A and B are shown apart, each in its own frame.
Chain A
Amino acid sequence: MKELARRRFDVGFAPRRAGWWLLFVASLGGAAMTGWALLPGAKTFPVAAGTGLVFTVPLLIGWWWLLKLPQLWSRISRSGAIAAMAWGAFAAAGIYALPANGALITVMGQRAGIDVAQQWGAALIAPLTEETGKALGIVVVLLAAGQRLRTPMDAALLGALSAVGFTATEDVLYGINIAYLNLGENEVVSTTVIYVARAIVFGPVSHIVFSAAVGAGIGVLAVGRRRGRVPIGFALIGLGAGLHGLWNSPLLDALWTRIAYLVVVPFVMWAVLRYLRTEEHRWFEQVLVRPGALGAIPATYLRTVGATWWRRRGYRASVVKAFGAGAIGPQRVLEAELTDLADAVDVGDQESAARIRGVIEARLALPS
């Protein structure tokens, strides 16, 4: 929703916040540990590493753009998005995943046997280490920005952005790994194949999806407004981690099972998105029905802001039918301004709330 003027989770330069230092230092330390882990492979296969870095740019831009699409009720600030991605790329990958994955799989080999570790190591360990690392990116960005969650979608988006950074690092690693696997036969081709497979073919069932589900669960637990938020929150966290583990597990060794997974998971995520939309809509209504929140704006206008894209499209179509095509622009602006007003009221930004209220009242020619 590009008309939204307010942005969430602006991190900026905030050295007075401990959370900002945590983000900065952990990301820096994670970058060093990631570099340390990847450097031997990059030295052996410099073309694969370089090709991976080149592909990282469109990967980041593509996901940045794709993750703007669900931002119907809020916009994540550029600095907040970059902070989440930096955490995912460096702290989550370099500190949570790379050192711990191998260690825990080895412990599994020691305790449960090598066969078990070979079969189930990645399925059981990766969701634990990687989902934990990525999900804590949500917490760190909140601490760095000095803000709280407003809706579960906030957490889902931050989790997804953290996962974008994580997958960028992991894809470079996979590019190098596949170069090892084919003894560097053709590093450009093998790296290209790995990026096409991971970013395009398996993109809809990637880290971004897993972390969005985990983030949604954290968000529901923290700020959910519907009944049963505790079981639903834990179920969503379990869903994200479970999908990750299932993808890595030997249960999906057969090709048809992979295809079935690819087909089913987008529908599951669509259902999650629907749930998050209702949460966002509920937040919007509950904030703006507070005494004084709307000023002179009639409460009936709240009903013009649909919970989902489809509902808004439907309402806008009726607006166009009644007032002509020129009315669609003002309708979109009204939707955005009411959402911005809800955000300002919710965070206690009285000055902005009064200004936005005044703008809406003036446009609607209402007595203020």
Chain B
Amino acid sequence: MVNLFQRALWLAVVVVTLVAFGFAIPLLPSFGPDSRQLTTDDAMELATGTVTLPAGWDVDIASASQRQPVATRGNVQIGIVDAVWLGASSRLVTHAADLVFSQPPLLPDVPATADGTGSEEWQILPARDAPSGDPRSVIVLRRDTSVILVIVRGPAAEVAAVAETIDAVVASVTFNGFTPDVGSAP
């Protein structure tokens, strides 16, 4: 039988690590910066491609580190989400709208035959009475089965003021195919 001292020691080790991993380590990011301001245009890796975020914008470190970058300037936020879609683009746009908007938005007129062959770009806009928390626009980019959503949030006037920058972000998206991540990653 393991003696009492050894048992007490191991008990303490387990309790200390439980507290460390469960409660102390999750606090560590709060001791560092939440975001980093880009000094130059910066190409960010996504699961299905890359996107270049513009200089001068703040990038959220937590989301960017996990390949879902969110860039902010003032009250305008650009979020990038990538996805995979096998079916018709009309259903893709509907599904994306359901996930992102809290109320039915204005959907683009997507031809029933559109299936991602070549490159596609669709824009979803909020309904006139949409709550302020809903995106100002969602741009759906698709090439074959790879999809990247550019989600823009913020007050209408401020979003309009950076419209060219948003267009540049959308134009910077490149697709590199999709490798499913089915490993033991967190």
Contact = CB atoms under 8 A, between A and B. Distances in A.
Contacts, number: 164
Contacts of B147: 183
In which size bucket is the chain B interface? 35 or more
A118 B45 contact: yes
A248 B184 contact: yes
Contacts of A348: 1
Interface residues of A, dominant DSSP: helix
A50 interface: no
Interface in B7-51: 7, 10-11, 13-15, 17-18, 21-23, 25-29, 32-33, 36, 44-45, 47
Contact of A130 (B2, B67, B85, B184): B184
Interface stretch (B58-66, B105-113, B157-165, B166-174): B58-66
Nearest to A19: B11
A27 to B, nearest CB: 11
Given A100-B21, A197-B180, A114 B29 contact: no
A143 B11 contact: yes
B15 A22 contact: yes
A148 B95 contact: no
Interface stretch (A51-59, A101-109, A277-285, A350-358): A101-109
A33 B182 contact: no
A106 B99 contact: no
Given A107-B32, A139-B13, A181-B47, A248 B185 contact: yes
B62 A185 contact: no
Given A97-B186, A182-B86, A91 B99 contact: no
A104 B28 contact: yes
A99 B85 CA distance: 30
Given A105-B66, A108-B65, 19 more contacts: A18-B11, A26-B14, A91-B18, A99-B21, A102-B186, A106-B29, A107-B28, A107-B32, A114-B36, A114-B59, A117-B66, A121-B66, A126-B184, A136-B14, A139-B10, A181-B47, A183-B147, A186-B86, A244-B184
